[in-house]
Amino acid sequence: MKQTKPTSLGALQPFVLSLDWMSQSKVVDPCWGITGKEHWSNDCSPRPSGAQIRVFKQNFDAQFLAENPWLWEVGAIVSLYGDEATDPAMAFAVQAQKPSAIVPCNECVHFFPPLNQTYEAYCEALMNSACHSGGRFQLVLMEGVPFSRALLAT
């Protein structure tokens, strides 16, 4: 696994698909507004800058991809603690050849490889799977973040 210099990142949000990261973002999260995400920073009303957020309370999976062809026009893929959406997000980023930032959930042990049940092995398995499909992810170790320290980025 290729590692880059550890990076510090600010506040983390759920799965975000950015069409134009300065003006319009799409959030795909079946639990939006239910699991502690009702924070002022997650307000979806129009911004004074004109920026807008649209929320899809659905799973990011093969069905969502099939029903939403606009996904092929997004500028970047971001999945933060995506749980079941992590693998589909990485696969879509590879297939669509989009820049991406993926932070796998460190608490989803049921996704960890059976022979090495660690977060590090999970991140490595995700990167290997993406590499076999033609992706070029790098591991960035983040410091000062509250949960997962791994960022898989293209």
pLDDT tens-digit readout, 49-86: 566 677 788 888 888 889 989 888 888 888 888 888 88
Classify residue 89 by burial, with Cβ atoms within 10 Å: 0-12, 13-18, 19+.
buried
pLDDT tens-digit readout, 90-140: 999 999 998 988 989 888 899 999 999 999 999 999 999 999 999 989 888
Domain boundaries, the chain: 3-153
| pLDDT for the residue numbered 129 | 92
Closest CA to 89 of 71, 108, 67: 71
Handedness of CA 41, 36, 60, 55 (dihedral sign): negative
| pLDDT for the residue numbered 21 | 44
3-state secondary structure of 139: strand
Which structure tokens are listed for 95? 């297939």
3-state secondary structure of 114: coil
Q: How many CA atoms lie within 13 A of 97 on its CB side?
A: 1
| pLDDT for the residue numbered 143 | 86
| pLDDT for the residue numbered 133 | 92
Closest CA to 3 of 135, 142, 144, 145: 142
3-state secondary structure of 65: helix
pTM of the predicted structure, to 2 decimals = 0.71
